[in-house]
């Protein structure tokens, strides 16, 4: 069974840094394209970043230059390093596995809440 478990969220001051982790089971992260999607409180879904199996990355303009997506194959874990955090980055962050054939997401974690506030 595919499972994704995000950790690392919490309260962080503006300008601070945080690294979110997404531990996967039931499949191999390095063999699948993966992504992060966030949802601000009471708002809709916003795509953040993707990591191709070959290492290519894409980022939303809103996080480009501040966030870095990566993975650790030995731990079967996806990460996002978030720097220079802003209040508008406050959201639940979901990691998700790309569908086998289409650029949408067929499995999602339960999410981890990041709150950027002083």
User: Which stretches of the chain bind another protein, using CB under 8 A?
Assistant: 37, 44-47, 50, 58, 60-61, 94, 99, 102-106, 108-111
**Of residues 15 and 52, the one with the C-beta less far from another protein:** 52
Structural contact between residues 101 and 69, judged by C-beta atoms closer than 8 angstroms? no
**Of residues 13 and 102, the one with the C-beta less far from another protein:** 102
The token pair at 82 is: 């978030």
Structural contact between residues 46 and 88, judged by C-beta atoms closer than 8 angstroms? no
Residue 95 beta carbon to another protein: minimum distance, rounded to whole angstroms:
10
């Amino acid at each position: 069974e595919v499972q994704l478990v995000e950790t690392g969220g919490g309260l962080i001051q503006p300008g601070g840094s945080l690294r979110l982790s997404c531990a996967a089971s039931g499949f191999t992260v390095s063999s699948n394209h993966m992504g992060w999607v966030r949802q601000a409180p009471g708002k809709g879904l916003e795509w953040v970043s993707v990591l191709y199996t070959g290492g290519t990355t894409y980022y939303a303009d809103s996080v480009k230059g501040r966030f870095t997506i990566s993975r650790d194959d030995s731990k079967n874990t996806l990460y996002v390093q978030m720097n220079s955090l802003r209040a508008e980055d406050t959201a639940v962050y979901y990691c998700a596995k790309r569908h086998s054939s289409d650029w949408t997401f067929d499995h999602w974690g339960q999410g981890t809440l990041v709150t950027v506030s002083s």
